[in-house]
Amino acid sequence: MSERIEELEDRTRFEPPEVEPQIIERWLASGLFHPEPDGEASENYSIAIPPPNVTGSLHMGHALNGSVQDTLIRYNRMRGLRTKWIFGTDHAGIATQAQVEKALLAEGINRHELGREAFVERVWEWRAHYGGTIVEQFKRLGASCDYSEERFTLDEGYARAVMQVFVNLYEKGWIYRDRYIVNWDPGSRSAISDLEVEERRETDTLYSIRYDVEGGGSVTIATVRPETMLGDTAVAVHPDDERYRSLVGREAILPLVGRHLQIIADDYVKMDFGTGQLKVTPAHDPNDFEIGTRHELDQVSVIGEDGRMTAEAGERFAGLTVMEAREAVVAELEREGRIVAREEYEHEVPYSHRSGQRIEPLISLQWFMNMDELARPAVAAVREGRVRILPESQRRVYLDWMENIRPWCISRQLWWGHRLPVYYCETCGHVNVALSAPDACGECGGHLRQEEDVLDTWFSSALWPFATLGWPRDTPELKAFYPTNVLSTARDILFLWVARMIMMGIELTGEVPFSDVYIHSVIQAPDGRRMSKSLGTGIDPLQEIDRHGADAVRFGLLAMSSAQDVRYSAEKIQQGQALANKLFNAVRFALLRIDASLGSERAQAIEPSPSPSTVEDRWILSRLTRALADTAARIEQYDFSHAALGLYDFVYGELCDWYLEIVKQRLPDLAEAGSEDDGRQELAATLLYVLRETVAMAHPLIPFVTEELWRYLDDTGKLLVGSAYPSARENLVDPRAEAELARTIEAVTLVRGWRDSVGARAGQFVAARLCADGYELTAPLLGRLARLRLLSEDEQSQALDAVDTSPANNGDALLTHGGEASAAPAVVASIPIPGGTVEVLSGEGLDLGAAERRREATKQKLLAEIERVQAKLERPGFVEKAPAAVVEGERERLRRLRTEMEVL
RNA sequence: GGACGCGUAGCUCAGUGGGAGAGCGCUCGCUUCACACGCGAGAGGUCGCAGGUUCGAAACCCGCCGCGUCCACCA
| Cα(A471)–Cα(A722) distance, integer angstroms | 29
Phi, psi values for residue A742, rounded to 5°: -60, -45
> Does A795 have pLDDT greater than 70?
no
CA of A736 to C1' of B50 (A): 48
CA of A278 to C1' of B11 (A): 52
Q: Where does residue A208 fall: left (phi above 0), alpha (psi -120 to 50 degrees), or beta otherwise? A: beta
Which protein residue lies nearest to nucleotide B18, measured between its Cα and the C1' atom?
A: A886
Residues in chain A, overall count: 904
Closest nucleotide (CA of A656 to C1')?
Answer: B34
pLDDT score of A806: 35
Confirm whether any atom of chain B, the nucleic acid strand, is less than 7 Å from CB of A268: yes
CA of A582 to C1' of B38 (A): 9
pLDDT score of A818: 38
Closest nucleotide (CA of A394 to C1')?
Answer: B4
Residues 6+ apart with CB under 8 A from A879: A873, A887
| Cα(A349)–Cα(A145) distance, integer angstroms | 41
Closest nucleotide (CA of A745 to C1')?
Answer: B40
CA of A564 to C1' of B6 (A): 8
Q: How far is CA A147 from the centre of its chain?
A: 22
* Region A408-426 average pLDDT: 93
Q: Which nucleotides of B are covered by protein (CB under 7 A)?
A: 3-6, 11-14, 18-19, 22-24, 28-43, 54-56, 68-75
A515 versus A217: the higher-pLDDT residue is A515
Phi, psi values for residue A397, rounded to 5°: -60, -45
| Cα(A144)–Cα(A85) distance, integer angstroms | 7
* Region A6-23 average pLDDT: 91
* Region A219-235 average pLDDT: 91
SS3 A94: helix
How close are the terminal C-alpha atoms of chain A, in Å? 52
* Region A637-654 average pLDDT: 95
> Does A30 have pLDDT greater than 60?
yes
CA of A314 to C1' of B48 (A): 59
Residues 6+ apart with CB under 8 A from A32: A77, A144, A719, A721, A722
Q: Which of residues 287-306 of A touch strand B (CB under 7 A)?
A: 287
Which protein residue lies nearest to nucleotide B56, measured between its Cα and the C1' atom?
A: A878
> Does A113 have pLDDT greater than 50?
yes
Confirm whether any atom of chain B, the nucleic acid strand, is less than 7 Å from CB of A286: yes
pLDDT score of A270: 86
Q: How many CB atoms lie within 10 A of CB A112?
A: 9
> Does A393 have pLDDT greater than 80?
yes
Confirm whether any atom of chain B, the nucleic acid strand, is less than 7 Å from CB of A276: yes
Residue A487 and residue A360 in contact, taking contact as beta carbons nearer than 8 Å: no
Tell whether ipTM is more than 0.85.
yes
pLDDT score of A275: 86
Q: What is the pLDDT of residues A238-296, one digit of tens each?
A: 888 888 888 888 999 998 888 999 999 898 888 888 888 899 999 999 999 999 988 98
Confirm whether any atom of chain B, the nucleic acid strand, is less than 7 Å from CB of A5: no
Which protein residue lies nearest to nucleotide B29, measured between its Cα and the C1' atom?
A: A756
* Region A602-617 average pLDDT: 77
pLDDT score of A675: 44
CA of A853 to C1' of B32 (A): 27
Confirm whether any atom of chain B, the nucleic acid strand, is less than 7 Å from CB of A888: no
A592 band by pLDDT with thresholds 50, 70 and 90: confident
Confirm whether any atom of chain B, the nucleic acid strand, is less than 7 Å from CB of A895: no
Confirm whether any atom of chain B, the nucleic acid strand, is less than 7 Å from CB of A765: no
Enter the DSSP assignment of A882: S
Closest nucleotide (CA of A279 to C1')?
Answer: B75
Q: What's the Cα-to-Cα distance from A654 to each of A647, A730, A774, A783, A848, rounded to whole Å? A: 10, 19, 20, 19, 32
> Does A82 have pLDDT greater than 90?
yes
CA of A575 to C1' of B25 (A): 14
CA of A320 to C1' of B1 (A): 36
Q: What is the pLDDT of residues A812-870, one digit of tens each?
A: 333 333 334 445 667 888 888 888 889 888 877 788 887 777 777 778 788 888 888 88
| Cα(A212)–Cα(A224) distance, integer angstroms | 20
- Smallest Cα–Cα separation from A747: which of A719, A791, A777, A713? A777
Which protein residue lies nearest to nucleotide B38, measured between its Cα and the C1' atom?
A: A582
Parallel/antiparallel/unpaired status of strands A422-425 and A484-490: unpaired
Confirm whether any atom of chain B, the nucleic acid strand, is less than 7 Å from CB of A270: yes
pLDDT score of A847: 82
> Does A676 have pLDDT greater than 70?
no
CA of A572 to C1' of B25 (A): 13
Which protein residue lies nearest to nucleotide B14, measured between its Cα and the C1' atom?
A: A642
CA of A872 to C1' of B18 (A): 10
Confirm whether any atom of chain B, the nucleic acid strand, is less than 7 Å from CB of A901: no
Residue A627 and residue A646 in contact, taking contact as beta carbons nearer than 8 Å: yes
Q: Which of residues 775-814 of A touch strand B (CB under 7 A)?
A: none
Confirm whether any atom of chain B, the nucleic acid strand, is less than 7 Å from CB of A528: yes
Query: Judging by beta carbons within 10 Å of its beta carbon (0-12, 13-18, 19+), is residue A401 exposed, middle or buried?
Result: middle
Confirm whether any atom of chain B, the nucleic acid strand, is less than 7 Å from CB of A401: yes
Lowest mean per-residue pLDDT among A512-521, A691-700, A879-888: A879-888
pLDDT score of A846: 82
A156 versus A857: the higher-pLDDT residue is A156
Lowest mean per-residue pLDDT among A21-25, A55-59, A209-213: A55-59
| Cα(A74)–Cα(A83) distance, integer angstroms | 8
Across the beta sheet with A83-86, the strand order is: A83-86, A45-48, A484-490, A514-520, A388-390
pLDDT score of A804: 38
Residue A553 and residue A542 in contact, taking contact as beta carbons nearer than 8 Å: no
Spell out the long-range contacts of A332-337 with Cβ–Cβ below 8 A and sequence spacing 24 or more: A332/A256, A333/A207, A333/A209, A333/A226, A333/A255, A333/A256, A336/A255, A336/A256
A459 band by pLDDT with thresholds 50, 70 and 90: very high
Confirm whether any atom of chain B, the nucleic acid strand, is less than 7 Å from CB of A691: no
CA of A393 to C1' of B48 (A): 24
CA of A549 to C1' of B18 (A): 43
A553 band by pLDDT with thresholds 50, 70 and 90: very high
Q: Which of residues 693-722 of A touch strand B (CB under 7 A)?
A: none
Question: Taking CA A422 as the corner, what is the angle to CA A420 and CA A426, rounded to the nearest 5 degrees?
Answer: 135
pLDDT score of A821: 42
A355 band by pLDDT with thresholds 50, 70 and 90: confident
CA of A878 to C1' of B52 (A): 20
Closest nucleotide (CA of A401 to C1')?
Answer: B71
Confirm whether any atom of chain B, the nucleic acid strand, is less than 7 Å from CB of A756: yes
Closest nucleotide (CA of A868 to C1')?
Answer: B19
Residues 6+ apart with CB under 8 A from A615: A737, A740, A741, A777, A778
- Interhelix angle A640-649/A615-636, nearest 10 degrees: 170
Q: Which of residues 559-588 of A touch strand B (CB under 7 A)?
A: 560, 562-567, 569, 571-572, 574-575, 577-578, 581-582, 585-586, 588
| Cα(A339)–Cα(A335) distance, integer angstroms | 9
| Cα(A1)–Cα(A593) distance, integer angstroms | 10
Closest nucleotide (CA of A567 to C1')?
Answer: B12
* Region A163-169 average pLDDT: 96
SS3 A595: helix
Q: What is the pLDDT of residues A432-447, one digit of tens each?
A: 999 988 998 988 988 9
Lowest mean per-residue pLDDT among A218-227, A665-674, A726-735: A665-674
* Region A701-709 average pLDDT: 96
Confirm whether any atom of chain B, the nucleic acid strand, is less than 7 Å from CB of A636: no
Confirm whether any atom of chain B, the nucleic acid strand, is less than 7 Å from CB of A364: no
Closest nucleotide (CA of A575 to C1')?
Answer: B23
Closest nucleotide (CA of A754 to C1')?
Answer: B41
CA of A202 to C1' of B48 (A): 30
- In one-letter notation, the amino acid at residue A728 is A
pLDDT score of A811: 32
Q: Which helix (H) or strand (E) holds A222?
A: strand A218-223
| Cα(A31)–Cα(A156) distance, integer angstroms | 26
pLDDT score of A813: 32
pLDDT score of A798: 54
CA of A485 to C1' of B14 (A): 28
Confirm whether any atom of chain B, the nucleic acid strand, is less than 7 Å from CB of A221: yes
Which protein residue lies nearest to nucleotide B17, measured between its Cα and the C1' atom?
A: A882
A840 versus A606: the higher-pLDDT residue is A840
Closest nucleotide (CA of A639 to C1')?
Answer: B14
Enter the DSSP assignment of A528: S
CA of A563 to C1' of B63 (A): 27
Residue A455 and residue A412 in contact, taking contact as beta carbons nearer than 8 Å: yes
| Cα(A737)–Cα(A622) distance, integer angstroms | 8
